[in-house]
Amino acid sequence: MLYVVVWSVLAVAAFASSLFVLWTRPFQFKDQGAGPDYRPSAGVAGALMTIAILALVIALTV
């Protein structure tokens, strides 16, 4: 039971962190210039969302 709570808290924290990153540093395309059209925050938010989904799956299967 404790593992379910721990994994659920981790999932909620990662999801909230992902939303916070997306809200404070939103993804934007570059208007002009060369180079990639992304911000590192998009990668961070994606990684946090992946952690949230994995933690939720683990919490539901433990």
- Helix axes 40-61 and 2-24, enclosed angle (nearest 10): 160
Residue with tokens 């180079």: 35
pLDDT grade, residue 30 (50/70/90)?
low
pLDDT grade, residue 43 (50/70/90)?
confident
Within its chain, how far is the Cα of 6 from the centroid? 17
Q: Which amino acid is at 42?
A: A
CA distance 35 to 3: 44
pLDDT in tens, 3-29: 889 989 999 999 999 888 888 877 666
Q: Does the global pTM surpass 0.75?
A: no
Please report the pLDDT score of residue 11 as a whole number. 92
Please report the pLDDT score of residue 52 as a whole number. 92
For the chain, the domains span 2-28+39-61
The mean pLDDT of 28-54, rounded to a whole number, is 75
Q: Which amino acid is at 29?
A: F
